């Protein structure tokens, strides 16, 4: 099974930008930790980061038929992108929204996510550890789906 991790704008600057909010860990370090968890649990994982909304939409669409679940941090697009929301709804894959900071405790414009209500869950405010929690959640969801499919196949004989 395959998980695709999609990262939005400015996340390539982790470890450099606003360390008081986002911490000192670089995106590559977060991805390496996620990869280790995926491999330990028998999952394939792919990473994608873009500062461009259309490229993120394209990547979500490419997940259809190629991935089993999506972990996404749309970053600033969380609060503005109907296109990302529509793409996630179109592919209908289990999706977990992840944020490093607690968006509910930040500026007023950051408190509204346009994708939270269509995701299986949202994890925010745990710093880079939010991604680890997102991995655990996605692995659990995908394992449950796999078990349900196996049980149905067994019933259908």
Query: Considering all CA atoms of the chain, what is the largest pairwise distance in Å, rounded to the nearest integer?
Result: 56
Q: According to the model, what pLDDT value does residue 28 have?
A: 96
Residue 108 pLDDT grade (very low, low, confident, very high; cuts 50, 70, 90): confident
49-106 pLDDT per residue, tens: 999 999 999 999 999 999 999 999 999 999 999 999 999 999 999 999 999 988 887 8
Q: According to the model, what pLDDT value does residue 49 have?
A: 98
Is the pLDDT confidence value at 157 over 80?
A: no
25-50 pLDDT per residue, tens: 899 999 999 999 999 999 999 999 99
Q: According to the model, what pLDDT value does residue 22 have?
A: 76
Distance of CA 26 to CAs 12, 23, 77, 82, 119, Å?
A: 8, 9, 20, 28, 25
Query: How many domains are contained in the chain?
Result: 1
Q: Which of 31, 77, 79, 99 is catalytic?
A: 99
Q: Which of 22, 77, 131, 132 is catalytic?
A: 22
Identify which has the larger pLDDT, 18 or 68: 68
Q: How many CA atoms, within 13 angstroms, populate the side-chain half-sphere of residue 23? A: 16
Specify the CATH number for the domain of residue 38.
3.40.50.9100
132 catalytic per annotation: no
Is the pLDDT confidence value at 21 over 90?
A: no
> Residue 119's domain spans which residues?
2-156
Residue 139 pLDDT grade (very low, low, confident, very high; cuts 50, 70, 90): very high
């Amino acid at each position: 099974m395959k998980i695709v991790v999609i990262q939005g704008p400015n996340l390539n600057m982790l470890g450099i930008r606003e360390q008081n909010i986002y911490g000192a860990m670089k995106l590559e370090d977060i991805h390496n930790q996620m990869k280790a968890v995926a491999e330990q649990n028998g999952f394939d994982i792919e990473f994608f980061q873009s500062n461009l909304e259309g490229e993120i939409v394209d990547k979500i669409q490419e997940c259809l038929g190629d991935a089993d679940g999506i972990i996404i941090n749309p970053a600033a697009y969380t609060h503005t992108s109907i296109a990302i929301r529509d793409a996630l709804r179109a592919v209908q894959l289990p999706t977990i929204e992840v944020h490093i900071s607690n968006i509910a405790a930040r500026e007023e414009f950051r408190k509204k996510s346009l994708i939270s209500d269509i995701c299986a869950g949202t994890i925010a405010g745990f710093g880079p550890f939010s991604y680890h929690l997102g991995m655990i959640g996605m692995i659990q969801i995908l394992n449950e789906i796999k078990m349900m499919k196996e049980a149905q196949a067994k019933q259908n004989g």
